[in-house]
Amino acid sequence: MLAKRIIPCLDVKDGRTVKGINFKELRDAGDPVELGKIYSDQGADELVFLDITATLEKRKTLAALADQVAHNLNIPFTIGGGISSPGDLEALLESGADKVSVNSAAVRNPALIDDLAKLFGSQCIVVAIDAKESGGYWTVHVSGGTKPTTRELFEWAHEAEDRGAGEILFTSMNHDGTKKGFAVQALRKLSEQVSIPVIASGGAGTIEHFVEVFTHGKADAGLAASIFHYGEIPIPGLKSELVSRGIPIRI
Protein backbone atom coordinates (compact mmCIF):
# COMPACT_ATOMS: atom_id res chain seq x y z
CA MET A 1 0.00 0.00 0.00
CA LEU A 2 1.30 3.43 -0.91
CA ALA A 3 1.98 5.82 1.95
CA LYS A 4 -0.82 8.25 2.71
CA ARG A 5 0.07 11.93 2.43
CA ILE A 6 -0.47 14.83 4.82
CA ILE A 7 -0.91 18.08 2.87
CA PRO A 8 -1.30 21.52 4.46
CA CYS A 9 -3.31 23.85 2.23
CA LEU A 10 -2.63 27.55 2.10
CA ASP A 11 -5.47 29.61 0.66
CA VAL A 12 -3.95 32.87 -0.51
CA LYS A 13 -5.73 36.21 -0.91
CA ASP A 14 -3.84 39.44 -1.58
CA GLY A 15 -0.56 37.72 -0.75
CA ARG A 16 -1.68 36.46 2.68
CA THR A 17 -2.85 33.05 3.88
CA VAL A 18 -6.53 33.15 4.88
CA LYS A 19 -9.01 30.64 6.25
CA GLY A 20 -12.78 30.70 6.65
CA ILE A 21 -15.80 28.47 7.19
CA ASN A 22 -17.83 27.11 4.29
CA PHE A 23 -15.77 29.34 1.96
CA LYS A 24 -16.84 32.49 3.89
CA GLU A 25 -15.72 34.69 6.83
CA LEU A 26 -12.05 34.70 5.86
CA ARG A 27 -9.44 35.61 8.47
CA ASP A 28 -5.70 36.12 8.20
CA ALA A 29 -3.45 33.16 9.00
CA GLY A 30 0.00 34.44 8.07
CA ASP A 31 2.55 34.68 5.28
CA PRO A 32 2.16 31.73 2.88
CA VAL A 33 5.87 31.23 2.23
CA GLU A 34 6.77 31.39 5.92
CA LEU A 35 4.01 28.95 6.81
CA GLY A 36 5.05 26.65 3.99
CA LYS A 37 8.61 26.59 5.32
CA ILE A 38 7.36 25.65 8.79
CA TYR A 39 5.27 22.79 7.39
CA SER A 40 8.16 21.57 5.29
CA ASP A 41 10.38 21.49 8.37
CA GLN A 42 7.66 19.65 10.33
CA GLY A 43 7.47 16.84 7.80
CA ALA A 44 4.53 17.69 5.54
CA ASP A 45 4.57 15.47 2.45
CA GLU A 46 3.38 18.17 0.05
CA LEU A 47 1.86 21.63 0.08
CA VAL A 48 -1.01 23.19 -1.85
CA PHE A 49 -1.17 26.93 -2.50
CA LEU A 50 -4.48 28.20 -3.88
CA ASP A 51 -5.07 31.80 -4.89
CA ILE A 52 -8.73 31.61 -3.95
CA THR A 53 -9.82 34.85 -5.64
CA ALA A 54 -7.80 34.63 -8.83
CA THR A 55 -10.68 33.33 -10.93
CA LEU A 56 -13.34 35.40 -9.21
CA GLU A 57 -11.41 38.62 -9.74
CA LYS A 58 -10.44 37.72 -13.32
CA ARG A 59 -6.71 37.66 -12.76
CA LYS A 60 -3.93 35.08 -12.84
CA THR A 61 -2.07 33.35 -10.07
CA LEU A 62 1.24 35.11 -9.68
CA ALA A 63 4.19 33.04 -10.83
CA ALA A 64 6.16 35.07 -8.29
CA LEU A 65 4.52 33.09 -5.47
CA ALA A 66 5.62 29.82 -7.05
CA ASP A 67 9.13 31.19 -7.40
CA GLN A 68 9.28 32.25 -3.74
CA VAL A 69 7.97 28.90 -2.57
CA ALA A 70 10.40 26.96 -4.76
CA HIS A 71 13.36 28.91 -3.39
CA ASN A 72 12.37 28.37 0.25
CA LEU A 73 11.00 24.81 0.35
CA ASN A 74 12.32 21.39 -0.51
CA ILE A 75 9.08 19.40 -0.77
CA PRO A 76 6.66 19.08 -3.70
CA PHE A 77 3.98 21.72 -4.00
CA THR A 78 0.90 22.38 -6.07
CA ILE A 79 -0.26 25.86 -6.97
CA GLY A 80 -3.57 26.94 -8.44
CA GLY A 81 -5.99 29.77 -9.03
CA GLY A 82 -7.13 31.35 -12.27
CA ILE A 83 -5.31 28.90 -14.53
CA SER A 84 -7.06 28.78 -17.89
CA SER A 85 -4.43 28.06 -20.55
CA PRO A 86 -1.31 25.99 -21.23
CA GLY A 87 0.69 29.20 -20.94
CA ASP A 88 -0.53 29.73 -17.37
CA LEU A 89 0.56 26.23 -16.40
CA GLU A 90 3.88 26.49 -18.17
CA ALA A 91 4.72 29.72 -16.33
CA LEU A 92 4.04 28.12 -12.95
CA LEU A 93 6.03 24.98 -13.71
CA GLU A 94 8.93 27.11 -14.91
CA SER A 95 8.73 29.07 -11.66
CA GLY A 96 9.18 25.88 -9.66
CA ALA A 97 5.75 24.35 -9.03
CA ASP A 98 5.62 20.55 -9.18
CA LYS A 99 1.91 20.35 -9.97
CA VAL A 100 -0.81 22.77 -10.96
CA SER A 101 -4.42 22.74 -9.85
CA VAL A 102 -7.22 23.62 -12.27
CA ASN A 103 -10.82 24.11 -11.25
CA SER A 104 -13.23 26.68 -12.73
CA ALA A 105 -11.62 26.88 -16.16
CA ALA A 106 -11.71 23.10 -16.52
CA VAL A 107 -15.41 22.95 -15.67
CA ARG A 108 -16.17 25.63 -18.24
CA ASN A 109 -13.86 24.09 -20.85
CA PRO A 110 -13.22 20.39 -20.09
CA ALA A 111 -10.95 20.07 -23.14
CA LEU A 112 -8.44 22.18 -21.21
CA ILE A 113 -7.57 19.06 -19.20
CA ASP A 114 -6.82 17.14 -22.41
CA ASP A 115 -4.60 19.94 -23.67
CA LEU A 116 -2.67 20.28 -20.43
CA ALA A 117 -2.17 16.54 -20.00
CA LYS A 118 -0.92 16.12 -23.56
CA LEU A 119 1.53 19.00 -23.26
CA PHE A 120 2.82 18.51 -19.73
CA GLY A 121 1.76 15.02 -18.59
CA SER A 122 -0.98 13.87 -16.24
CA GLN A 123 1.44 13.69 -13.30
CA CYS A 124 1.36 17.46 -12.87
CA ILE A 125 -2.39 18.01 -13.43
CA VAL A 126 -4.58 18.19 -10.32
CA VAL A 127 -8.27 18.79 -10.98
CA ALA A 128 -9.79 20.50 -7.94
CA ILE A 129 -13.51 20.02 -7.41
CA ASP A 130 -15.51 22.15 -4.97
CA ALA A 131 -18.92 20.58 -4.40
CA LYS A 132 -21.89 21.11 -2.11
CA GLU A 133 -24.29 18.35 -1.07
CA SER A 134 -28.05 18.80 -0.89
CA GLY A 135 -30.53 15.96 -0.78
CA GLY A 136 -27.83 13.43 -1.59
CA TYR A 137 -26.72 15.27 -4.74
CA TRP A 138 -23.29 16.89 -4.95
CA THR A 139 -23.33 20.03 -7.10
CA VAL A 140 -20.01 21.26 -8.44
CA HIS A 141 -19.32 24.96 -7.80
CA VAL A 142 -16.85 27.32 -9.50
CA SER A 143 -15.40 30.80 -8.96
CA GLY A 144 -14.19 30.15 -5.44
CA GLY A 145 -17.36 28.27 -4.55
CA THR A 146 -19.63 31.20 -5.38
CA LYS A 147 -21.36 29.80 -8.46
CA PRO A 148 -23.20 26.46 -8.74
CA THR A 149 -23.01 24.60 -12.04
CA THR A 150 -24.98 21.82 -13.71
CA ARG A 151 -22.14 19.36 -13.10
CA GLU A 152 -22.30 16.57 -10.53
CA LEU A 153 -19.30 15.53 -8.44
CA PHE A 154 -18.88 11.90 -9.45
CA GLU A 155 -19.57 12.22 -13.15
CA TRP A 156 -17.27 15.24 -13.37
CA ALA A 157 -14.48 13.38 -11.55
CA HIS A 158 -14.86 10.48 -13.99
CA GLU A 159 -14.63 12.82 -16.95
CA ALA A 160 -11.63 14.63 -15.49
CA GLU A 161 -9.81 11.32 -15.10
CA ASP A 162 -10.72 10.23 -18.63
CA ARG A 163 -9.39 13.53 -20.00
CA GLY A 164 -6.02 13.13 -18.29
CA ALA A 165 -6.16 14.41 -14.72
CA GLY A 166 -3.48 12.89 -12.52
CA GLU A 167 -5.24 13.57 -9.21
CA ILE A 168 -8.59 14.77 -7.88
CA LEU A 169 -8.68 17.31 -5.05
CA PHE A 170 -12.22 17.14 -3.67
CA THR A 171 -13.34 19.81 -1.23
CA SER A 172 -16.70 19.38 0.47
CA MET A 173 -18.12 22.88 0.81
CA ASN A 174 -20.51 21.55 3.49
CA HIS A 175 -17.58 20.47 5.65
CA ASP A 176 -15.03 23.18 4.84
CA GLY A 177 -13.70 24.89 7.99
CA THR A 178 -16.19 23.17 10.31
CA LYS A 179 -13.62 20.82 11.91
CA LYS A 180 -16.37 18.20 12.19
CA GLY A 181 -14.77 15.64 9.91
CA PHE A 182 -14.35 14.96 6.21
CA ALA A 183 -17.13 13.91 3.83
CA VAL A 184 -16.12 10.29 4.38
CA GLN A 185 -18.95 8.55 2.54
CA ALA A 186 -18.58 10.71 -0.57
CA LEU A 187 -14.81 10.29 -0.49
CA ARG A 188 -15.10 6.51 -0.25
CA LYS A 189 -17.45 6.45 -3.22
CA LEU A 190 -15.17 8.75 -5.19
CA SER A 191 -12.04 6.75 -4.32
CA GLU A 192 -13.74 3.53 -5.41
CA GLN A 193 -14.96 4.99 -8.69
CA VAL A 194 -11.76 6.59 -10.00
CA SER A 195 -8.34 5.00 -10.35
CA ILE A 196 -6.27 8.16 -9.81
CA PRO A 197 -5.37 9.46 -6.31
CA VAL A 198 -8.02 11.36 -4.38
CA ILE A 199 -7.05 14.18 -2.01
CA ALA A 200 -9.62 14.78 0.74
CA SER A 201 -10.30 18.38 1.72
CA GLY A 202 -12.78 20.07 4.04
CA GLY A 203 -13.60 19.31 7.66
CA ALA A 204 -10.41 18.15 9.38
CA GLY A 205 -10.53 18.91 13.10
CA THR A 206 -9.02 15.96 14.96
CA ILE A 207 -6.52 13.18 14.44
CA GLU A 208 -9.43 10.75 14.39
CA HIS A 209 -10.79 12.53 11.32
CA PHE A 210 -7.60 11.65 9.46
CA VAL A 211 -7.85 8.05 10.63
CA GLU A 212 -11.41 7.92 9.28
CA VAL A 213 -10.59 9.52 5.94
CA PHE A 214 -7.72 7.11 5.27
CA THR A 215 -9.51 3.97 6.43
CA HIS A 216 -13.24 4.38 5.78
CA GLY A 217 -12.87 7.18 3.22
CA LYS A 218 -10.06 5.44 1.30
CA ALA A 219 -8.48 8.80 0.46
CA ASP A 220 -4.89 8.86 -0.73
CA ALA A 221 -4.11 12.16 0.98
CA GLY A 222 -5.61 14.32 3.67
CA LEU A 223 -5.52 18.08 3.20
CA ALA A 224 -6.17 20.60 5.95
CA ALA A 225 -5.65 24.27 6.71
CA SER A 226 -6.73 25.90 9.96
CA ILE A 227 -5.72 23.05 12.28
CA PHE A 228 -2.17 23.46 10.99
CA HIS A 229 -2.18 27.25 10.63
CA TYR A 230 -3.24 27.80 14.24
CA GLY A 231 -1.13 24.99 15.75
CA GLU A 232 -4.04 22.83 16.80
CA ILE A 233 -2.54 19.60 15.47
CA PRO A 234 1.24 19.48 14.95
CA ILE A 235 2.18 17.48 11.87
CA PRO A 236 4.81 15.30 13.63
CA GLY A 237 2.30 14.24 16.29
CA LEU A 238 -0.37 13.56 13.68
CA LYS A 239 1.97 11.36 11.67
CA SER A 240 3.16 9.43 14.72
CA GLU A 241 -0.40 8.68 15.78
CA LEU A 242 -1.40 7.56 12.29
CA VAL A 243 1.58 5.18 12.17
CA SER A 244 0.60 3.76 15.57
CA ARG A 245 -2.87 3.10 14.13
CA GLY A 246 -1.40 1.04 11.30
CA ILE A 247 -1.78 3.66 8.57
CA PRO A 248 1.19 3.85 6.17
CA ILE A 249 2.73 7.31 6.56
CA ARG A 250 6.14 8.74 5.70
CA ILE A 251 7.96 9.82 8.87
| Phi, psi for 113 (deg, rounded to 5) | -65, -45
What is the rounded distance in angstroms from the CA atom of residue 31 to the CA atom of residue 15?
A: 7
- Quick one: which of 236, 247, 244 has its CA closest to 45? 236
Whether 162 is catalytic: no
Whether 130 is catalytic: yes
Catalytic residue (one of 11, 98, 176, 220): 11
Q: What is the DSSP letter of 234?
A: -
Catalytic residue (one of 45, 51, 98, 130): 130
Segment holding 21, helix H or strand E: strand 16-21
Length of the chain: 251
- What is the per-residue DSSP string for 151-182? EEHHHHHHHHHHHT-SEEEEEETTTTTT-S--
What is the rounded distance in angstroms from the CA atom of residue 134 to the CA atom of residue 125?
A: 29
Q: Which residues are catalytic?
A: 11, 130
